Amino acid sequence: MSRKLADSTISKLRSALDEERVKLMEQISEHAKEIEEALQNESPSERIPDPSTAEGGTLSFEYEMARELDQAAADRIRQIDHAIERMGAGTYGTCEECGTDIPIERLKFMPHVTLCVECARKKR
Ligand SMILES: [Zn+2]
């Protein structure tokens, strides 16, 4: 039998996951707004695709950065949703690969993890 996490522990980790999820969603929508504003404020001359203009370059660089962050945020949200799913299924806290109990310290530090340290290392 695998370890049973206390309900109070689960609910604490659950609220940590919910909180992080909200922050990530805010980040994504903020970036979307920023990019939209940046594109609207762009003067028509800057719209002409010319990689040598500094401003055009800055915008696309910022856009790239935001997109990369959003990508990471979206990945994290998927992990969070998956962890929450596993809470519902009662399998939260055990490694998805090998089935060992994930140390509670690891869960507190990164509540979204569904792999033990060993398996996470192997996956990389
Ligand atoms: Zn494992």
> Residue 13 burial by CB count (10 A; 0-12/13-18/19+): exposed, middle or buried?
buried
CATH classification at residue 38: 1.20.120.910
Give how many domains the chain has, as a whole number: 1
In a domain, 48, yes or no: no
CA of 59 to the centre of ligand 1 (A): 43
6 Cα–ligand 1 center, Å: 21
pLDDT higher than 70, residue 122: yes
Q: How far is the CA of 123 from the centre of ligand 1 (A)?
A: 10
Note down the domain range covering 35.
Answer: 7-42+53-123
Q: 96 lies in a domain?
A: yes
Would residue 19 count as lying in a domain? yes
Which runs of consecutive H residues, i.e. helices, occur in 1-124?
7-41, 44-47, 54-89, 104-109, 117-123
What's the rounded Cα separation, in Å, for the pair 65 and 67?
5
Question: Does a structural domain hold residue 1?
Answer: no
Express each pLDDT in 5-63 by its tens digit: 999 999 999 999 999 999 999 999 999 998 888 888 876 655 555 555 555 556 688 78
The CA 114 to ligand 1 mean position distance, Å, reads: 9
Query: pLDDT tens, 71-119?
Result: 999 999 999 999 999 999 999 999 999 999 999 999 999 999 999 999 9
Residue 34, in any domain of the structure: yes
Tell whether 27 is covered by a domain.
yes
Residue pair 88/99 in contact by the 8 Å Cβ criterion: no
